[in-house]
Structure 1
């Protein structure tokens, strides 16, 4: 996959140099997206850091190119083209822009194109996901009253068994916006702003529904609480549980949260209870 990122980056450099900023902007974003996927899949910390640095560089340049095509600056600051949602408070708009930029850096938002039929094996897991997510989203009329669909699904099992691929396939089947979140990235890079970032994530998912929020390595953010737990970490966990509760109480929302972990026994019991349906993802059975 790294060669694809390099290919997109090389195209972006050439188009940037030639003044073809629109095409360069698109290729910078594509290169960064591929690198973000590599960050998810590699366990080598040195490679993760290299991919992160390059992805951040490409996203920064893409933002510069985007800003060049926006309205003129006023007083040395770019004027936002969006209307303020907080009574004209420009500071609130700037803060929201920063959070949306943070989401673009560590959260992959896409419309995937991977069908269930393309996933080899794992028939039991696919059947469970069809019953838990696909059918309720395609036929909401069948799930009313006491038959409420599950809004929190936990995929657990050994590493490398296809949890992310299955989640992407589910999003494809129901034509949902797919939010691919690395819990460890939120904590490591945005600990001071993690609560706001989590809130913004769910607000964005609500705007783009039907949405599927996939939280990889969920145990890194939802491990069992202890006396040595940092206050900031505790607040992030509380915010995430509150947002998940909001998803389950709003019956009209078409949002599903899928968590993935290799260590389900390390999850906080209160957090684990938010995942009403748990599906074991075994080694491929083909």
Structure 2
């Protein structure tokens, strides 16, 4: 049967029109919905997290809730627990009593409206003293969903989207409660409001505060907002009022520094002349992070010393995977590392003095 040329031509033109229409529709959709690709990726990540966290896949989430859900933390991926934190035993015990126990004993809390977890907890103090480690350990042990809220999650270039994302934080937490919303460096996100704030930022803060008020007024919700900051004086007064349970994580004292050193050096080989109490007494202005850096420098010095011994003696004292007899940190390694760390310590002292003179170190 002969093919009709007009039919072939018409079919080709129709196919071209369909293809052109599809490409045009796709281009228009990308213009109208530029975040579609990110939304689909966020939805996939959120669904995978729901499965790993044991949440029901039948929970209906909006587009914005799905995006916020990508900030959920899987406890098995957290490598920090209470045993890794030294010198903060009293704070850990208080967090367990104040936050974890009320979240877990949901049946007991119905006997009294006062047996509830605090709606807001603030960890404040100088940097490097264990605030983020406490939050990680809390996330690992808590029998609750942990949302590690990032500031970038709530910022969007499209007008009105930031407010919707802020609302999605609380609506998502309500659907998956008990939940903990962790905001690190909360002063950067919810700092003191003034006339210099951008309109979008001011609206997002107002939305966040309004939704937080609704959370506080409800006695049935099991949601805790956990904030950490190095500059509590920069946090807005309205935010501090909503964080009634505050813990000051300051510089460790001599006994706490000795415990921190024990935690850091638990798996290291130390010479018999190493006295951790002496090192703790010599590091008066050091934070936990400073002590970790001090131990790292001492270990690096020991490593180079071992390498030099190998070259001089023309024999191997330290093999990869061996007994490591040549790699033993001695007291001299710590003393040399301490001399290298002196400048940073002096800078911290000068900074603390400047804060006291300016009055910025006080909490209103």
Q: Confirm or deny a common fold (TM above 0.5).
A: yes
Structure 1 150/65 Cα, relative in aligned 2: closer, same or farther at 3 Å?
closer
Q: For 1:264 and 1:65, locate their aligned partners in 2 and report how far apart those are by CA, in whole Å.
A: 35
1:154-183 Cα shifts (integer Å, max 9, x gaps): 111122322222123223333111111123
Secondary structure of 2:247's aligned partner: strand
Which of 215, 224, 232 aligns to 2:183? It is: 215
Q: For 2:86 and 2:227, locate their aligned partners in 1 and report how far apart those are by CA, in whole Å.
A: 21
Q: Which stretches in structure 1 are left out of the alignment for 5+ residues?
A: 1-58, 68-81, 86-92
Secondary structure of 2:123's aligned partner: strand
1:89-238 equivalences in 2 (<5 Å)? 96-97=62-63, 99-100=64-65, 102-103=67-68, 107-112=71-76, 114-140=80-106, 141=108, 144-183=112-151, 185-186=152-153, 189=156, 192=159, 193-238=161-206
TM-score normalised to the size of structure 1?
0.60
Aligned length: 202
Residue 278 of structure 1: aligned partner: 246
Q: Cα RMSD over matched residues?
A: 3.3
Contact 2:43–2:67 (CA<8 Å) still a contact in 1? no
Residue 41 of structure 2: aligned partner: 63
Structure 1 242/115 Cα, relative in aligned 2: closer, same or farther at 3 Å?
same
> Deviation of residue 205 (structure 1)?
1.3
Return the structure number with greater relative CO, CA threshold 8 A, min gap 6.
1
TM-score normalised to the size of structure 2?
0.49
Contact 1:133–1:170 (CA<8 Å) still a contact in 2? no
Q: Which stretches in structure 2 are left out of the alignment for 5+ residues?
A: 1-36, 46-56, 260-364
1:11-37 Cα shifts (integer Å, max 9, x gaps): xxxxxxxxxxxxxxxxxxxxxxxxxxx
More strand by share: 1
1:48-106 Cα shifts (integer Å, max 9, x gaps): xxxxxxxxxxx969939959xxxxxxxxxxxxxx99x8xxxxxxx8xx32x2453256x
Secondary structure of 2:205's aligned partner: helix
